[in-house]
């Protein structure tokens, strides 16, 4: 690469195979004055060559060199890949802690207001929808009940059975040391009816049905189907959300009951095979320990868990934006938020009913 009469003459080819050597040559000639870069000989250039030209402009920037004799085709490539014309991204100035806290507080207030309006709409139209089916698709509640309930039943039964086995096995190892084998029935009955059955079912539904609700509504939002429903004077909440709300309200006690029974059955297997208890003794103890209050607490909690899953999935779905990426983002957020609030509600209910 030659510098002649303040002009740097480029070779025929600039690509990744030769620019390293040219950079070393230029480093030895940095003291030279270059006012022009002659590209008359240049026939081929790639993105690495464009980066090399940008580097030359930086090295000889004191004399503001110009690129001359660059043919139109190569000039178009240079303009496409050059980074010199890109605007400089200035780092946003961060405010102090009080400004950030204020912004987050106002954002939280706005989100809370939207969530409250959505909550009111869902409960109102769900109550109205019991007596007036106008604005809903025919058979939508049955369809959603099959999707949310029947399709989720196998995985709920499987995990509840395994959980019952593990819970009984872990406790049996300790109880048999004190000759308290019979109390494994107490443990399984109380834990599965009041805690493990409802919360396990809710977590599975949050991951399975909650994500489906959020992604369905988010897809409708980004593809403007929600706007189309409004243009046709159809309430989106009444048309989309209310059938899901009704369906999950109907199926959640059935799913929790099935989860509880199969979990207790898993405990029975351990009691019979590991603790040498008879089936009759086990179930006599279960029915002796359980009360109607325990059953009502378990079923009552499950309703709140189910409603939270639908409301949170709907909230994130209606606030989706940004195309397919936005759909995936709100789906993930809805699952995380649903599981979080299910656990919080379970902890609060435990403190209310057992303290």
Q: What is the pLDDT of residue 98?
A: 82
- pLDDT (0 to 100) of residue 136: 80
Kind plus residue range of the DSSP H or E element containing 66: strand 66-68
Q: What pLDDT was estimated at residue 156?
A: 94
Q: What is the pLDDT of residue 89?
A: 58
Q: What domains appear along the chain, each with residue ranges and CATH number?
A: 2-81 (3.30.750.24), 126-354 (no CATH)
Which pLDDT score, from 0 to 100, does residue 31 have?
61
Mean pLDDT by 10 residues, the chain (355 residues): 72 79 71 74 80 78 75 78 64 71 88 90 90 83 90 93 91 81 88 92 92 91 88 88 93 94 92 87 90 91 94 92 85 93 91 77
Taken as a whole, the chain contains a residue count of 355
Query: Helices marked H in the chain — which ranges?
Result: 19-28, 47-59, 72-81, 97-131, 140-145, 153-175, 183-191, 197-205, 211-222, 225-231, 236, 242-273, 279-289, 292-318, 323-354
State how far the Cα of 271 lies from the Cα of 284, in Å rounded to an integer: 13
pLDDT of residue 95: 63
SS3 label, residue 319: coil
The span from the CA of 286 to the CA of 268, in Å, is: 10
CB 160 within 8 A of CB 197: yes
Query: 261 in helix, strand or coil?
Result: helix
Output the pLDDT for position 251: 94
Per-residue pLDDT at 355? 66
- Pick the closest to residue 173 from 270, 286, 289 (CA basis): 270
Q: How far apart are CA 256 and CA 253, in angstroms?
A: 5
């Amino acid at each position: 690469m030659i510098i002649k009469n303040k002009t740097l003459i480029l070779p025929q080819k600039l690509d990744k195979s030769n620019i390293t050597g040219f950079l070393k040559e230029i480093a030895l000639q940095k003291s030279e004055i270059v006012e022009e870069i002659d590209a008359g000989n240049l026939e081929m250039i790639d993105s690495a060559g464009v980066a090399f030209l940008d580097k030359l402009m930086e090295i000889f920037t004191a004399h503001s060199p110009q690129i001359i004799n660059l043919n139109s085709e190569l000039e178009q490539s240079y303009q496409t890949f050059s980074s010199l014309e890109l605007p400089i991204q200035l780092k946003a100035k961060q405010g102090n802690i009080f400004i950030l806290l204020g912004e987050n507080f106002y954002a939280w207030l706005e989100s809370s207001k939207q969530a409250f309006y959505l909550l009111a709409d869902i409960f109102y139209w769900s109550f109205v929808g019991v007596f007036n089916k106008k604005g809903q698709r025919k058979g939508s509640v049955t369809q959603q009940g099959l999707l949310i309930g029947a399709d989720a039943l196998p995985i709920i039964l499987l995990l509840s059975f395994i959980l019952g086995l593990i819970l009984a096995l872990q406790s049996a190892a300790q109880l048999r040391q004190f000759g308290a084998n019979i109390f494994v029935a107490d443990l399984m009955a109380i834990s599965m009816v009041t805690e493990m059955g409802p919360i396990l079912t809710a977590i599975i539904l949050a991951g399975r049905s909650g994500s489906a609700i959020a992604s369905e509504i988010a897809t409708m939002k980004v593809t403007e189907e929600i706007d189309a429903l409004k243009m046709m004077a159809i309430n989106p909440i009444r048309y989309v959300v209310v059938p899901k709300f009704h369906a999950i309200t109907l199926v959640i006690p059935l799913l929790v009951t099935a989860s509880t029974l199969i979990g207790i059955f898993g405990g029975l297997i351990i009691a019979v095979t590991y603790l040498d208890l008879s089936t009759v003794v086990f179930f006599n103890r279960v029915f002796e320990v359980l009360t109607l209050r325990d059953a009502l607490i378990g079923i009552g909690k499950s309703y709140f868990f189910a409603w939270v899953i639908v409301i949170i999935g709907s909230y994130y779905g209606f606030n989706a934006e940004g195309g397919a990426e936005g759909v995936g983002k709100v789906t993930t957020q809805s699952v995380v938020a649903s599981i979080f609030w299910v656990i919080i509600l379970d902890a609060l209910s435990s403190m209310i009913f057992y303290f």
